[in-house]
Structure formats: C-alpha cells, structure tokens
Amino acid sequence: MDPVSYNHYDLDEFDPKELLTTYCHPGCDETLYEEMTLFPMRTLQLLVAEGKISGTTLIDFSTGPIIFPLLALSDHFSDIILLKPNYFCIVEVEKWQNGEEESFDWSHLSEYFTKLEDDRNKIKEEESLKKNIKYIMRCDMKKENPTSPFVLPKADCLTTFYLLQNVSKDKETFYENLKKISSLLRVGGRLLLVGLFNAKRFTIGGDKFHFLTFDEDFLRKTLTEAGFIIESLEKIDSKVTSGIAKYDQVYFACALKIREV
C-alpha cells in the first residue's frame, strides 16, 4: 500500500465507533463481518477450549476500541491491560466499561460467544471483562518501551488484532514493533496475532488508512526471528467484494515465546 496516499492510524484522527460499526457489527458487510470478526472469535474460542491460554496478566494491543477478543478470555486472566496509540479509542472503551448509553453495544458478540461455549451467560461475560480490565493505557510505538514511563509486569498472554499492521509503515518497522510488544510478554507466554495477508485496502468512515501488506512467508520468518515458535496458523480466504477492505486472507497465529531478542 502506498504510504503517501493513505491516512495513518497513529497520526490521523478517526471516529472509533465508525470502525466498530464497519467491521464488528452484524449490520455491516456480511462477508467482512464473518471474515474479520467471527472467524477470529471462533479460532480464539477453540484455543481457549484446548486449555493453552491461561495465566494472570493479559495485555491487549488491538485496533480501535475493539474488545471482542477479550470476551473469550475474561475468566482466564484476572489482570487485563489494554494499550491504545490513540486517546479517542481509550475514551470509547471507557464509555463501554462505564456502561454509558452512547457506547457501542457488544451484546451481539456476547451472545455469539454464549452459543459457541454453550453454557455461558452473556451478561456475566461482559461484566467479568469490565471488572478484570485494570488499565487502559496510551502507548507510543516510537519509544523503545511503548508504555514509558510505566514498566508493566510481564504478561502471560499478549493479544494483538490487526493493529501491528496498522501502525507499521514497512516490514522493518513491523519487526521492530513486534519486538517491542514482545518485550511485554514473558518467555513461555503466548502471542495471539491476527491480521491480513496481502492487504490492499482498509477504510474507516470512507477514508483509506495505511495497512502494511505482506505474505505468510514473511510472517513466519519474522515471528521466528523475534523469538517465537508458531504453534498454529489458521487462515480464511477472502470473499469480500465491497470496497471497504481488500485482502487475500485473514490469519490467526498462536505463537509461543521461547527467548528474548
């Protein structure tokens, strides 16, 4: 993607609720919703069911004010920390956490998880998550420690949905950003990374935003060099025909951190 022609996620303001209604709401493009929201949710639920994803501290570094990856994890981590490069995304998450009327309604995805897990109460799911979110923090990926001046405890699990490709201008920056967020994860912890292969378009409210494009070979090589072993890499081919987003595949990588880099 040509960086000159696109807005940049960490530099240009956008409406965070517009992002949610475009990609995370059943009223949006049906295929886009299935591929970018429901597919990662199903994959995450299966990983949780295997018993691999657990611990005390979870750090989430995901696009916009999305909280759906955390719905499946709220009962498995007592300390959840959200990192956001944009203040207005923090405000939107806080509206949901405080139960404000104008906040985005996540009940459709809570219900979806209820059906996947068969025995969960959707109200309890969201309330548990709200309680376990300890901090929603601004981060700066230009700093060696993105949360500076604060030093966070090493996480047992790190989730990052789409954001690494939003904020990385090129492949070298992606690798450097991956190392920075990896430094927040303990050796033996797991990285859950979701993104798009060969992305060509990513829009919010009609504005085109930069989204780093690369293929599976690059991702595998970069994760290995950053100190990870890939335990699984699930993919779904894109059937999206709208002009909202264009990519070849959505991927979901589960990687075990085996060393510091």
Q: What is the pLDDT of residue 3?
A: 46
Q: What is the pLDDT of residues 28-40, one digit of tens each?
A: 899 999 999 999 9
Q: What whole-number distance in Å separates Cα of residue 201 and Cα of residue 203?
A: 7
Are residues 73 and 53 in contact, defined by beta-carbon separation less than 8 angstroms? yes
Q: What is the pLDDT of residue 10?
A: 85
Are residues 186 and 156 in contact, defined by beta-carbon separation less than 8 angstroms? yes
Q: If pLDDT is split at 50, 70 and 90, which confidence band does 123 have?
A: low
Question: Which pair of structure tokens corresponds to residue 3?
Answer: 């960086």
Q: If pLDDT is split at 50, 70 and 90, which confidence band does 170 have?
A: very high
Q: What is the mean pLDDT of residues 68-72?
A: 89
pLDDT at 6 over 50: yes
Give the phi and the psi of residue 38 in degrees, each rounded to 5.
Answer: -70, -40
pLDDT at 11 over 90: no
Q: What is the pLDDT of residue 120?
A: 54
Q: What is the pLDDT of residues 133-163, one digit of tens each?
A: 999 999 999 999 999 999 999 999 999 999 9
Q: What whole-number distance in Å separates Cα of residue 218 and Cα of residue 106?
A: 34
Q: What is the pLDDT of residue 183?
A: 97
pLDDT at 122 over 60: no
How many CB atoms lie under 10 A from the CB of residue 206?
Answer: 9
pTM metric for this prediction: 0.94
pLDDT at 116 over 80: no
Q: What is the pLDDT of residues 215-245, one digit of tens each?
A: 999 999 999 999 999 999 999 999 999 889 9
Domain map of the chain by residue range?
3-257
What percent of the chain is predicted at pLDDT more than 70? 96
CA angle, residues 62, 65, 69, in degrees to nearest 5? 55
- Find which of 113-122, 199-208, 248-257 is predicted with most confidence, using mean pLDDT: 248-257
DSSP string, 82-102: EEES-HHHHHHHHHHHTT-TT
Locate tokens 């009962």: which residue?
75
State how far the alpha carbon of 206 is from the alpha carbons of 3, 198, 202, 258, in Å: 17, 20, 9, 41
How many CB atoms lie under 10 A from the CB of residue 21?
Answer: 14
Q: If pLDDT is split at 50, 70 and 90, which confidence band does 27 have?
A: confident
Q: What whole-number distance in Å separates Cα of residue 251 and Cα of residue 39?
A: 9
Q: What whole-number distance in Å separates Cα of residue 95 and Cα of residue 93?
A: 5
Are residues 81 and 57 in contact, defined by beta-carbon separation less than 8 angstroms? yes
Query: In whole numbers, what is the pLDDT of the chain averaged over residues?
Result: 92
Q: What is the pLDDT of residue 2?
A: 46
Q: Which fold has domain 3-257?
A: Rossmann fold (3.40.50)
